[in-house]
Structure formats: structure tokens, C-alpha cells
Amino acid sequence: MKTQNSNDGRLSPSAGSGRMKGILFILMAAFFFSLMSVFVRLSGDVPTMQKAFFRNIVAAFLAAALLLRSGAGFHVKSQNIPALLLRCAFGTLGIICNFWAVDHMPIADANMLNKLSPFFAILMSIFILRERPKRIEWVSVILAFIGAAFVAKPGAGLASLPALVGILGGFGAGTAYTFVRKLGLAGERGPVIVMYFSLFSTLVLLPGLIFDFHPMTMRQLVFLLLAGTSAAGGQLAITAAYQHAPARDISVFDYSQIVYAALFGFFLFGEIPDLWSFLGYAIIIGTSFVKWYLVTRRK
């Protein structure tokens, strides 16, 4: 597929189509990850690493099932193994750091720091993929992050060791997404990337599950399985998103997860956002709309 710019500086039709698909997939991923958060919350008082384990093992099984059904197998091109291992390592680092930060600081602060991942995705794309963003890409992500700050209203906990761990988690996630795009450009299939990442992170989390396992009720188990299923949908969708388009074009739409979370909070838990939150939603939606308009115009 030809995705380079044409001689007159305009994007080829295939490049524009890839960007629109990337936007749709990342919006879908944000929805699934928001749904995952709802099920994790409904699962109640279960250790964080136990929740993370179920989040990943279900995704591993579902991705493996997709591969078996397609008959394409689990083969990875030998030249792509280093990038796949780095995707697994940085993704697992992102999960562990984010969950640890959630356990040691206010959830709003931890979620804010996790939303640094779009910044790191753009930044690491410069070094790993040589995809250089324009000023408008940086501005759109910064505006969306400001909107997220209005929603989360982070406190003084941002100046602490857990905050540094949370930032490291955002770095791990953003770098992992960059390697997802690298693998996609090299021809690797999305379910393969998701399966190996989920399997890798499950094995890393297994010791924590063994030494700190808490018995669960059937209700808690069902909600964690649903959380894992939602996480699998999010992983498949975000993998497809970064395979179709560069981070500079689509990462801002990852902030739609905050809007989805607000809707779930209102309809399921009766949480009513305050005026600052509505301002944040307006900034996020407005920035996303402008970015979508710019992408369609370039197409």
C-alpha cells in the first residue's frame, strides 16, 4: 500500500484512508478501555495485580482464538522479534507502573499521569520511526491533556515518588504504542502482537498473583473476566489504530476515554460532573473535532 506524500505535498488517498481508520480504531479502543475500568470497579476489593493478571490473560486467550480461527498461526517474522519483545517489555512496564501508582496515590492523579502516553508516543515516534510531528500535532495533544486536567483536577500528590512511577508508566505505554506501529509497518498482524504482549505480561504478573492471591466471589470473577474481554477489545483496536496511522495524527483521540468514562460514571454510578469537568470535556471534544477536520482536509 502506498502511503507516501505525492509530489505536490498532498497525502495519497490510501494515506488519508489509513488516518481515518486510525481515528476510528483509537476511538473504539478508548471505549473498550473505559468499559474495562467500569468492570474493574464493579469487581470490588481485589488486589490490583490480581486485576491486572485477569486483564491480560483473557486478552491472550482471545487473541490466540482469533489466530487459530484464521488458520494463520502464531508465526512472527524473525526480523521483527526484537521490536515485538520491546513492545511487550515497555507495555508491561506501563501496566505495572500504572497499577502501582493507582495503589499509592489518588486515582485522578494516577490516571492523569497515564494520559501522558500520547505525548511519549509522539516523542518516541521521532526517534524510532522518524515520524516528525508538526506544531499543530503538539498543540492538539497539549490542549487535550489540559482538558483532562480539568476533569481529573490532580492534587499535590503529583509531586511524589508514586508520581514519578506514574510518569514512567505513561512513558512505557507511549513507547509500546510506537513499537506497535513499527511492527504494523513491518507486516505483523494485530492479534499476534496482542497475544504475545498479553502472554508476556501475564507471565510477569504471575508471581504477584501466586504470593498475594485473594479468593473471589463468582460475581467478582465474572466482572474481572468481562474486564479482561473489554481490555482485549481495547488492545486489538489500539493495535490496529497505530498500524494504520502515525501517533502524531491520532494520539489526541485517546483522550476520548475520559469522556466515555464520564458517561459511564453518570449512567451507572450517578456521578455528576462539576463545571470544571464540563469545561474539560468541551476542550477534549473541541480539540478532537478540530484534529478530525484537519485530518479529513489533508485526505
More confident residue, 159 or 138: 138
* Cross-strand pairs, 46: none
In tens, the pLDDT along 2-48 reads: 444 444 444 455 667 888 999 999 999 999 999 998 998 898 888 88
Contact 269, 146 (CB under 8 A): no
In tens, the pLDDT along 150-185 reads: 888 887 666 678 888 989 999 999 999 999 999 999
Report pLDDT for 4. Answer: 43
Q: What is the mean pLDDT of residues 91-100?
A: 90
Rg of the chain in Å (alpha carbons): 19
3-state SS, 112-151, equals: HHHCCHHHHHHHHHHHHCCCCCCHHHHHHHHHHHHHHHHH
pLDDT at 281 over 50: yes
Residue ranges per domain, the chain? 13-298
Q: Which of 104-108, 136-140, 281-285 has the lowest mean pLDDT?
A: 104-108
The Cα 298–Cα 279 span in angstroms is 29
More confident residue, 112 or 224: 224
In tens, the pLDDT along 190-247 reads: 999 999 999 999 999 999 888 888 999 999 999 999 999 999 999 999 999 999 999 9
Report pLDDT for 7. Answer: 41
Cβ-proximal residues to 165 (8 Å cutoff; 6+ apart), any chain: 97, 100, 101, 104
Q: What is the mean pLDDT of residues 51-60?
A: 90
Per-residue pLDDT band at 83 (split at 50, 70, 90): very high
Neighbours of 91 (CB within 10 A): 25
Residue among 264, 262, 240 at smallest CA distance from 250: 240
b/e map 224-253, b = 16+ CB within 10 Å: bebbbbbbbbbbbbbbbbbbbbbbbbbbbb
Contact 53, 247 (CB under 8 A): no
pLDDT at 269 over 90: no
b/e map 115-152, b = 16+ CB within 10 Å: bbbbbbbbbbbeeeeebebeeebeebbebbbebbbbbb
Average pLDDT, the chain: 87
297: its cell numbers? 482536509
The Cα 152–Cα 273 span in angstroms is 10
More confident residue, 281 or 13: 281
Report pLDDT for 37. Answer: 87
Q: What is the mean pLDDT of residues 75-80?
A: 93
Residues in the chain: 299
Report pLDDT for 55. Answer: 86
